[in-house]
Chains A and B, each alone.
Chain A
Amino acid sequence: TQLLEQSPQFLSIQEGENLTVYCNSSSVFSSLQWYRQEPGEGPVLLVTVVTGGEVKKLKRLTFQFGDARKDSSLHITAAQPGDTGLYLCAGAWAGKSTFGDGTTLTVKP
């Protein structure tokens, strides 16, 4: 069984601060996805990373895939209240996706 550990579990910050959340595993994945989930909704795909060492930017969000394709990080610059939500990472291998338990981010105005 491939497990993904996300940290921190909870994060509460003020608007304008920067933050980084992590997704770690002992397993290698062919790709890794980050999703954001708001209360009462399903997860929404933010990004897919495929190549070891890959960095992708989505406005104020920067995603990095580890060189060994076992871990990933999400960095948010100048967080806004609209960034509040549950951030989930999911690793894909052999047609299957395994999810972490997520980081719950709260950005206070």
Chain B
Amino acid sequence: EAGVAQSPRYKIIEKRQSVAFWCNPISGHATLYWYQQILGQGPKLLIQFQNNGVVDDSQLPKDRFSAERLKGVDSTLKIQPAKLEDSAVYLCASSLVLRRGGPGNTGELFFGEGSRLTVL
């Protein structure tokens, strides 16, 4: 079974430029997550989708970050304009099912290799 695919693996841009990351989750996984991981820290949730609907985007800086998951499969995360503090690894993860408090909601996430962003 193919894992979570992400691209690009690395991206270097100057501040105020834009960048987009792409994610293809594991086939059949309804829930997709974008996390930001700054060096020395754990992943921080940016946005969570179930199918093509947004479940949680409370930590997404909406003035510069946007994300979509058209057709409930692939997703893109965009940053425009980028700031120096956006330098981080952007991780995409997927999970089989989201059912609040119910069976199957084990919280097990499957991550891609990440996209490392450097903003100069």
Contact = CB atoms under 8 A, between A and B. Distances in A.
B42 A40 contact: no
B88 to A, nearest CB: 13
B111 A43 contact: yes
A31 B114 CA distance: 24
Interface in A26-60: 30-33, 35, 40-45, 48, 50
Contacts of A92: 105-107
B67 interface: no
Contacts of A42: 4, 91, 93, 111-114
Contacts of A96: 45, 48, 56
Contacts of B4: 42
A48 B108 contact: yes
A100 B44 CA distance: 9
A20 B13 CA distance: 40
B113 A40 contact: yes
B101 A94 contact: yes
A44 B107 contact: no
Contacts of B107: 30-33, 48, 90-92, 97
A66 interface: no
Task: Label chain B's interface by main secondary structure.
Answer: loop
B32 interface: no
Interface string A3-26: 010100000000000000000000
A42 B6 CA distance: 10
Interface string A91-109: 1101111111110000000
B71 interface: no
Interface in B67-109: 91, 93, 98-101, 105-109
B55 interface: yes
Interface of A: 4, 6, 30-33, 35, 40-45, 48, 50, 88, 90-92, 94-102
Given A35-B111, A42-B93, A90-B109, 6 more contacts: A30-B101, A30-B105, A33-B107, A42-B91, A50-B106, A99-B43
